[in-house]
Amino acid sequence: MPEGHTIHALADRLGRAFAGGPVEASSPQGRFSDEAKRLDGEVVQLARAVGKHLFVEFPDETLHVHLGLIGSFPVKPLGGRPPVEPRGALRLRLLNDDFVADLRGPITCELLDDPQVSSIEAALGPDPLDPAADPERAWDRIRLRRKTIAELLMDQSVLAGVGNVYRCEVLHRHRTNPFTLGTQLKRGTWERIWADLVDLLPLGVAFSQILTLDDQVAEAQLMVADGSTEPIIRESTGERLGGHFERRFAVYQRTGLACPRCGKTVRDKDVAGRRLYWCANCQRRH
């Protein structure tokens, strides 16, 4: 499932391609035809993400999209050529003279008014990619819950945007046992996890790939600081994962392999329907 950084990158991309001008909207598949007609010819004001939710604001209403497990919404430059003929289950196509964006397979695609948008946002926890986010709101939802931190980090009403890869990796980075209950988690541990997510997620946005290993994070941060990520960001259409860095993790999908920190075996377990990966040695229960 796309994690929050993917949706933020998508919002940036849609904004660069469409904001400030009118857009042609259509639903070649037919399932969103009436709504697409309402958007057709309207001006895109802004595209933004809150966690895994995408909001594209038009003058009178807002397009709300959640990609779910298999959805995709690539934004491609036309380069002076006409767009390719729509094929398959294409829910929504946005088009202008320079770009085409094709939405397929979302679990949510709907038009909302402002109160409806507000109510979705109110139900979400703080998003580490939002500079104005208040981590106390998440802490208030963690510290009283007798659920594991592994579950709480993925609960979008606690924290918006974190998915399975980031939760496994960030718990490993902070040597935190994933089965620690919210009521048992130390405030300092939560503060370090939040601060780390605030550092890590923008790298995910910039490179369209999740980076959590210290060597890759350090190199990525240098590239962000000197602006050399700009061409990577501009060339990414969102069709595939970024490829600047080798796809490597400490624990995610590494069952049976050695933990890069201590050499002991990485384990896995199904928790609330998603596979959790952790090192039972350096993420020991205290």
CB 264, min distance to Zn ion, A: 5
| Per annotation, catalytic residue among 137, 175, 261, 274 | 274
CB 53, min distance to Zn ion, A: 34
30 contact partners, CB below 8 Å, separation of at least 6: none
| Per annotation, catalytic residue among 2, 106, 178, 202 | 2
| Per annotation, catalytic residue among 13, 52, 93, 173 | 52
CB 107, min distance to Zn ion, A: 35
Nearer to Zn ion, 139 or 278 (CB): 278
Nearer to Zn ion, 203 or 282 (CB): 282
**Footprint on this chain of Zn ion (rule: CB under 5 A):** 259, 261-262, 279, 281-282
Count of CB atoms situated within 10 Å of the CB of 15: 17
2 part of the active site: yes
- Pull the structure tokens for residue 80: 């002076």
Rounded distance, CA 252 to CA 193, Å? 17
Nearer to Zn ion, 156 or 283 (CB): 283
85 part of the active site: no
CB 169, min distance to Zn ion, A: 13
235 part of the active site: no
Nearer to Zn ion, 160 or 282 (CB): 282
160 contact partners, CB below 8 Å, separation of at least 6: 4, 50, 51, 52, 53, 124, 125, 126, 127
52 part of the active site: yes
Residue positions annotated with a catalytic role: 2-3, 52, 274
